[in-house]
Amino acid sequence: MFIKVTRRGPNRYVQLVEAYRDASTGRPKQRTIASLGRIDQLNTELNSVIAGLQRVTGQTPAALAPATPPVLSFEAARDFGDVYTLTELWNALGFDGLRGVFHHTRHRIDVEALIRVMVFNRLCDPDSKLGVLRWLETVALPGTSLESIDHQHLLRAMDALVDHKAEVDNVMASLLRPLVDQDLAMVFYDMTTIRAAGLSEQEGDLRHYGMAKVGVVERQVMLGVVQTSEGLPLYHEVFDGNTAEVTTIKGVIEKIVARFPIKRVIAVADRGLLSTENLADLQEIVLPGGNKLEFILAVPGRRYGDFVELLEPFHTKQCLPAKEEILGEAAWNKLRLIIAHDPQVSLDAGAKRDKRINELKAQADLWVGKLNDQDAGKKKPGRKLSDGGARAKFYREVCEAHLARIVKVNLKSELFTYDIDERALKHAKMMDGKLLLVTNAPDFTPEEVIKRYRSLADIERGFRVMKSEIEIGPIYHRLPDRIHAHATISFMALILYRVMRSRLRDSNTKISPERALDKLRRIQHQVVKVNDLEPIAALSSINHEHAEILQALTIKKPTLPAQLTLL
């Protein structure tokens, strides 16, 4: 016997049915033993029938049976929201095209997946390659099974990245090309130093001692990065740690022009490139299309003295009476010299310098008075002061204040003496609040030149991102190929970071990419097992803030086949 539900019109009825076989024909049939009534009208009476049948059969009625809570077992929760977002972005931009590069290679490992893991680690929790393995134990990468990978797999993937550099570069160029302005590419090129660890020497070693950006000599490699005015990274290259910037720019620009079908390239660079030799080299660079390389270069502060005579009439007539920022232009060595003067910055800089000079004067007068008293035989508390000691201390303080051109300390005199160079002080006041740019771009107004140069700060922020959020350095790899691979992985991470930043900005979301990933990381992946049933995978709830970030990044909400409401 069994329970059967039948339908008559709009109503459904519950029946107790018996199955039997017709004695004459042998065919199976059914007959209704009892009709228990309409389903929507059944109440506790049916429960009484069920309980009665259980008593007849010797079973404990369900109403009297003790409630047994389900046995739940939870696996450790894993971060999901951040790696899910990066995976969606990775595929949407076209980085998954790397699968085709490594699909027919001799490598049996999933090279694209391993590279993706290392790139995501740079953005989520940057660590060493061994640290990547520890990080993998805390995340749930969607659509990726990497439980069996080890340190050697990561290193082999890095080797494959270098072995197929040309194909990888083509994939990256193809995914970046649609994002580049085809009519005018404002190319920003700059180099930075990346500290390298280790004392061993390798054949073709990239690690050399040089002057780092922080002002100390250390073992390092040089990293050159090209970006658009919108902050999109286009190209990177690693150079020896003692390479001069000007020797690299021609080759890098030529590679950019070959990869991206742009009509015009204007290199904007900071103060390190401006010298007579560098300017001559830059003006001789001819692009593949036959056009000359155009540039906008900042004049370093130490060179401002070369422009005193040129700037004096402009300063007297326009800068001194100015109440707000003004722009001007002059000719210098057959190039355009663009001048920007900010009166408020000038006042602040002058006041700061005057205050420091007065402090130095007061300190010098104090020491001179003590020296004179000592010469007169007057005893003073404390250690005795000498002219040489006072001179050394004073000179050190002048140098630390960057005033050695103005406050002249006589290092050859036996007595402690100094003087103020009024001419140098006048020149310094003239240069306060000024920005000087040299360019050969013929059609830009001074306002446009200044605007283009000030965008250069964005590439410097890119270097800060690579050194802080992505943590490209210090580099612990010894082999040159591994250093190149490490730089490429960090560069891919920078592309994802910049695209995230651009989308968050466009949606007026006042949140940084690192903060967005931190918040999305709280979307957790959990596996739960109820009693002896099959395990169930689920995600923690996605709140309104998560949804806003995903919408700003144009990423759909993550879903799994099963969701547990208790998570």
Q: What is the pLDDT of residues 513-543, one digit of tens each?
A: 999 999 999 999 888 888 777 888 888 889 9
Average pLDDT over residues 352-368: 94
Q: Does residue 564 surpass a pLDDT of 90?
A: no
The distance between the two most distant Cα atoms of the chain, rounded to a whole number of Å, is 145
Predicted local confidence at residue 418, as pLDDT: 93
Q: What are the tens digits of pLDDT across the range 116-140?
A: 999 999 999 988 888 899 999 899 8
Q: Does residue 273 surpass a pLDDT of 70?
A: no
Predicted local confidence at residue 479, as pLDDT: 92
Residue (of 455, 495, 465, 489) closest to 475 by Cα position: 489
Q: Does residue 12 surpass a pLDDT of 50?
A: yes
* Cα distance between residue 491 and residue 499, in whole Å: 12
Q: Does residue 566 surpass a pLDDT of 50?
A: no
- 61 Cβ neighbours under 8 A, 6+ residues apart: 50, 51, 54, 55
Q: What are the tens digits of pLDDT across the range 104-118?
A: 766 678 899 999 999
Three-class SS state of 270: coil
Q: Which pLDDT band, with edges at 50, 70 and 90, does 468 fall under?
A: confident
Identify any residues that bridge with 79 across adjacent strands, giving them in sequence order.
Answer: 139, 524
402-423 burial by CB neighbour count: b if 16+ within 10 A, else e? Answer: ebeebbbbeeeeeebbbeeeee
* Cα distance between residue 535 and residue 527, in whole Å: 6
Written as six digits, the tokens of 413 are 């005199």
Predicted local confidence at residue 495, as pLDDT: 94
Predicted local confidence at residue 560, as pLDDT: 67
CA dist list (Å): 257 to 226, 252, 284, 291: 12, 9, 16, 11
Q: Which residue has the higher pLDDT, 73 or 159?
A: 159
Q: pLDDT over 70 for what percent of the chain?
A: 90
Predicted local confidence at residue 275, as pLDDT: 67
Predicted local confidence at residue 88, as pLDDT: 95
Q: Which residue has the higher pLDDT, 426 or 382?
A: 426
Parse the chain into domains and list their residue ranges: 2-57, 344-431
Q: Does residue 97 surpass a pLDDT of 90?
A: yes
* Cα distance between residue 233 and residue 245, in whole Å: 18
Three-class SS state of 342: coil
Q: Which pLDDT band, with edges at 50, 70 and 90, does 274 fall under?
A: low
295-326 burial by CB neighbour count: b if 16+ within 10 A, else e? Answer: bbbbbeeeebeebeeebeebbeeebeeeeeeb
Q: Does residue 59 surpass a pLDDT of 70?
A: yes
Distance of CA 99 to the CA centre of its chain: 24
In terms of C-beta density within 10 A (0-12 exposed, 13-18 middle, 19 or more buried), how is residue 72 classed? exposed
Distance of CA 53 to the CA centre of its chain: 70
Predicted local confidence at residue 254, as pLDDT: 79
Predicted local confidence at residue 307, as pLDDT: 84
Q: What are the tens digits of pLDDT across the range 335-345?
A: 999 999 999 99
Dihedral angle, C-alpha 159, 165, 170, 176, nearest 10 °: 70
Average pLDDT over residues 134-162: 86
Predicted local confidence at residue 182, as pLDDT: 63
DSSP notation for 432-483: TTEEEEEE--SS--HHHHHHHHHTTHHHHHHHHHHHTTS---SB---SHHHH
Residue (of 66, 64, 34) closest to 52 by Cα position: 64
* Cα distance between residue 349 and residue 449, in whole Å: 24
Average pLDDT, the chain: 85
Predicted local confidence at residue 517, as pLDDT: 95
Q: How many CB atoms lie within 10 A of CB 267?
A: 23
Residue (of 513, 515, 517, 510) closest to 499 by Cα position: 513
Q: Which pLDDT band, with edges at 50, 70 and 90, does 567 fall under?
A: very low
Q: What are the tens digits of pLDDT across the range 82-94?
A: 999 999 999 999 9
Predicted local confidence at residue 278, as pLDDT: 73
Predicted local confidence at residue 400, as pLDDT: 93
Backbone phi, then psi, for 566, in 5-degree steps?
-80, -5
Instruction: Extract long-range pairs of 342-346: CB within 8 Å, 24+ residues apart.
Output: 342/433, 342/434, 343/319, 343/433, 344/433, 345/432, 345/433, 346/319, 346/432, 346/433, 346/434
- 300 Cβ neighbours under 8 A, 6+ residues apart: 271, 272, 274
Stated length of the chain: 567
* Cα distance between residue 324 and residue 346, in whole Å: 11
147-151, 285-289, 439-443, 522-526: the lowest-pLDDT one: 285-289
